[in-house]
Amino acid sequence: MQIRQMKLLPEVGSVKPATVFPVLALGLWALQVIGLGIATIPGAKAQSPIIIQFSHVVTADTSKGKAALKFKELAEARTEGKVRVEVYPNSELYKDKEELEALRLGAVQMLAPALSKLGGDFEVFDLPFLFKDHAAFRSVVNGPIGQNMLQKLESRGMKGLGYWDNGFKVFTSNRPLQSVRDFKGLKIRVQASKVLVDQMQKLGAEPVVSPLIDVYKSLKDGRLDGEENTPINIDSQRLHEVQNNLTISNHGYLAYAVVVNKEFWERLPSDIRIALEGALRDATAYENELAEADNKKALEHMRKAGNLNVLALSPQEIKQWRDVLSPVYQDSRAWIDPALVTSVLAATSPP
């Protein structure tokens, strides 16, 4: 059964699928819409506002969490109450693996998933040591490469609205990680990306794909030995409380695509779409200004907490990491368009 529409009435928006088994939750949401007989077309005449449920998997105090709330503030103000944005942070509605399916079905209308989750060509952004700084990333996503990739999402029922920064990833672990030999045999959590899995295998680690919301418990219980993420995500998820070491490796880049359900978006009145696009542009500028500063603050906060041994890599160690991980570029051409890999490399000119 296809969930045709997103809703206007707050009663439907009050359903919280995370409280039950996810697949059942989607079915219950659909039954509620059908049972109420709601004509949930955004252009329909109704007194109730158009509701946009914006789900994401990080905490509200991260740069992405703050930007989602900024978008809510701007969208509601600029549509004069015709739109209400409900923001659900920290996997409150859906975990990593579930949220894209929820968007496809129309159970939520808006997400900001990590680029890794979009798979396929979007995994080009996971290649190791690809970007030298934030500006290098922005130059790619703001140019023809990034915009063409967003357009390709439409064939998957999504409309790409923009890119949000996070920043460079580091490793935490129960074993100090400086030499690539230190990874051997460790269970390391990664996102569901073939590129990231390949990287861990090249380092001699065992990659484990799991939702972010589950990582703290898995580290605490010993089912994971370490993980990679940005400082703000590590700090906000309190992962440093159950790890002994943090290596400032800056080996990869984490960013997000802001996406909406395509059918929902196209049924919105044009004036509403224009207002939302403006709100998203301003929220994007706000998010990108926050990201780098918030990661620096998070790293300093974890240093001061005193329970982490914070390690920096020497130039020789960085070269060793690069050499071990460089074959990932060739491997990735088996599932990423080789021409895209070449184009991104030309645009970024990695150091």
Q: Give residue 337's pLDDT.
A: 97
Q: Is residue 85 part of a domain?
A: no
- What is the distance between the alpha carbons of residues 89 and 53, in angstroms, rounded to a whole number? 11
What's the pLDDT tens digit per position in 253-268? 999 999 999 999 999 9
Q: What is the pLDDT of residue 28?
A: 39
Mean pLDDT of 41-61: 81
**Residue 330 belongs to what domain range?**
170-253+295-344
Kindly report the number of other CB atoms within 10 A of residue 305's CB atom: 12
Quote the CA–CA distance of 143 and 100 in Å, as a whole number. Answer: 25
Give the pLDDT confidence of 212-251 residue by residue, as tens digits: 999 999 999 999 999 999 999 999 999 999 999 999 999 9
Inform me whether the pLDDT recorded for 13 exceeds 80. no
| pLDDT for the residue numbered 65 | 96
Give the pLDDT band (50/70/90) at residue 97.
confident
**95/322: higher pLDDT:** 322
The answer to whether residue 143 scores a pLDDT higher than 80 is yes
Confidence of residue 36 (pLDDT cuts 50, 70, 90): very low
Least reliable range by pLDDT among 11-15, 101-105, 142-146: 11-15
pLDDT higher than threshold 70 for residue 35: no
pTM of the model: 0.86
In a domain, 237, yes or no: yes
Closest CA to 117 of 179, 196, 23, 184: 196
Per-residue confidence at 325, pLDDT binned at 50, 70, 90?
A: very high
Domain count, the chain: 1
**pLDDT given for residue 195 in this prediction:** 98
pLDDT at 224: 98
Q: Is the pLDDT of residue 15 over 80?
A: no
Is 10 a residue whose pLDDT tops 80? no
CA gap 33, 29 in Å, rounded:
6
Residue 336: CATH number of its domain? 3.40.190.170
Q: What is the mean pLDDT of the chain?
A: 88
The pLDDT of residue 257 is 98
Name the helix (H) or strand (E) containing 69.
Answer: helix 63-78
Residue 2 lies inside a defined structural domain of this protein: no
Q: How confident is the model over 164-177, as a mean pLDDT?
A: 97
Residue 322's SS3 state is helix
pLDDT reported for residue 42: 52
Has residue 102 been placed in a domain?
no
Which residue did the predictor score with more confidence, 97 or 267?
Answer: 267
Q: Do the beta carbons of residue 45 and residue 8 sit within 8 Å? A: no
Angle CA 328–333–334, to nearest 5: 105
Query: Angle at CA 213, nearest 5°, toward 223 and 131?
Result: 95
Is residue 245 within 8 A of residue 145, CB to CB? The reply is no
Structure tokens belonging to residue 177: 């990680």
Whether residue 213 is contained in a domain is answered as: yes
Is 211 inside a domain boundary? yes
Q: In this structure, is residue 119 part of a structural domain?
A: no
Residue 92 forms part of a structural domain: no
Strand 110-111: give its sheet, edge to edge: 83-88, 50-55, 110-111, 253-261, 158-168
